[in-house]
Amino acid sequence: MPTAVEVQVNPGESIQQAIDGGALSIRLSEGVYPGGVALPDGARLIGAGAGKTVIVPGARAESVVPPLHDAPDAVDHGVVVHAASDVVVEGLTLRGFSGAGVYAHTVSGLRLVDVESDANRVWGLYFRESTGLTARGCRAAGSQYGGIALAFCAAADADIADCETTGNAFGVFVDNSSRARVQRVRAHGNAAGILLLHQTYPGEPEGGVTDCLVADCDLTGNTLAAGGDDPDAPGAAGPPMSGVGLAMIGVQRVAVIGNRITGNHPGGPSVMPAALVVASSADWGGSASADNTIEWNTVTGNSPADALIDPEGQRVVNNVIGEAT
């Protein structure tokens, strides 16, 4: 079993070997470290800072984590946390993995601080069926699906704050997850800056998106084209999507407060004809969007329209909204 021993690991040394040897707290020097890492209960993995300490593909860490959704078999991940609790990852970059930069599954208490996901193929920072989640001061760029994603976290109790996402199909993706707070996020260059979605998937757990907050975010210039049949495209196998700042599909009791949604223009076909969309997912096995509050937001300078909001049961007040459909 790992102990509370703290060890320093330098480039050329194995992070996983130090963990397997009993270290619970690992400090990484500046440099490049080949090989993914699997972290146990109570582990702390602390680098010298994002962009300074970089983990890249190498030997795959042994893990029994379930296969990653939307990924081919035998992909590798940067950091895996599975069936563990009270784990901290701080101050490092995960780059070029064929699966996810961070893949957390059935975790209770995971804190990411100053963690960068850069060009990890399928997902950036991916949390599934977990609770007690934090991503602060993180960056996620260049993943095929979500940059920062919560999937089937029924009681996520998630705090996503002061993060940046760019070049992903979905900058922040709240997929059938509840009790998430997304604050002060800068999302640009994605197909959708933030997407909250309740939809049923064959063989997946029951879902829903309730009791969430999206506040004080800058959702600008999301022009990437996603979706379609090309397996290598962003958002492959999904509907075409582009030019979306914030979409809330089939959600309840979500507060959208003080966000700036500007300059979002589709770079390709899109099923969502506005930068701010609130709509039902009942036709896909989800639910109506109801009991949501949209207040003190600025939604201007987007195309083909600024907002498309299902008025049934929403509270929409004190906003600056340009052209609506």
pLDDT tens digits for 53-94? 999 999 877 778 888 877 777 899 999 999 999 999 999 999
Structure letter (DSSP) for residue 189: S
| Percent helix / strand / coil, the chain, rounded to 5 | 5, 45, 50
* pLDDT the model gives residue 4: 57
User: How far out from the chain centre does Cα 102 lie?
Assistant: 10
Confidence band of 203 (pLDDT split at 50, 70, 90): confident
Buried b (16+ CB within 10 A) or exposed e, 55-91: bbbeebbebebeebbbbeeebbbbbbbbebbebbbbb
pLDDT tens digits for 136-169? 999 999 999 999 999 999 999 999 999 999 999 9
Q: Are 115 and 125 a contacting pair, CB within 8 Å?
A: yes
Q: Are 168 and 187 a contacting pair, CB within 8 Å?
A: no
- Angle at the Cα of 44 from the Cα atoms of 43 and 49, rounded to 5 degrees: 150
Residues of the chain with pLDDT > 90, as a percent, come to 87
pLDDT tens digits for 268-302? 999 999 999 999 999 888 999 999 999 999 999 99
Q: Are 58 and 102 a contacting pair, CB within 8 Å?
A: no
* pLDDT the model gives residue 1: 43
**pTM summary value:** 0.96
pLDDT tens digits for 175-194? 999 999 999 999 999 999 99
